[in-house]
Amino acid sequence: MECKPANSRDSYHVGNLAAQLLGEARRMLEQVGSTKLSMRALCAALGVTPTAAYHHFKNRADLLAELASQGFNELAAVLEQTNSHLPMRDKIRGFCVTYLDFARCNPALYQLMFGPDIAVENMPKHLLEARESAFNTLESMVAELLKQPLNSPEVRSAALASWSYIHGLTALLIHQVLQRPITMTDQQIVERTLAGLELLFKAQATVSTQY
Using alpha carbons, select from 124, 155, 121 the residue that is nearest to residue 138: 155
Residue 10 has pLDDT above 50, yes or no: no
pLDDT at 83 over 80: yes
- Reply yes or no on whether the pLDDT at 171 is more than 90: yes
Q: How far apart are CA 194 and CA 189, in angstroms?
A: 8
pLDDT band at 12 (very low <50, low <70, confident <90, very high): very low
pLDDT computed for residue 177 by the predictor = 94
Q: What is the pTM of this model?
A: 0.85
Q: What integer is the mean pLDDT of 174-184?
A: 90
| Rounded Cα gap, residues 21 and 44, in angstroms | 11
Which of 1, 57, 58, 73 lies closest to 24 in space, CA to CA?
A: 57
Among 5-9, 81-85, 117-121, 156-160, the least confident range: 5-9
Q: Go through 174-203 and write b for each residue having 16 or more CB atoms within 10 A of its CB, e for each that does not.
A: beeeeeeeeeeebeebbeebbeeeeeeeee
Residue 34 CB-density burial (10 A; 0-12 exposed, 13-18 middle, 19+ buried): buried
Main-chain dihedrals φ then ψ at residue 189, nearest 5 degrees: -70, -35
pLDDT, residue 77, reads 95
Helix axes of 125-146 and 91-105: crossing angle, nearest 10 degrees: 150
Q: What are the structural domains, with CATH classification, of the chain?
A: 1-57 (1.10.10), 61-209 (1.10.357.10)
Q: What tens digit of pLDDT does each residue of 180-203 get?
A: 888 999 999 999 999 999 999 888
Query: Average per-residue pLDDT in the chain?
Result: 88
Is it the case that residue 6 has pLDDT exceeding 80? no
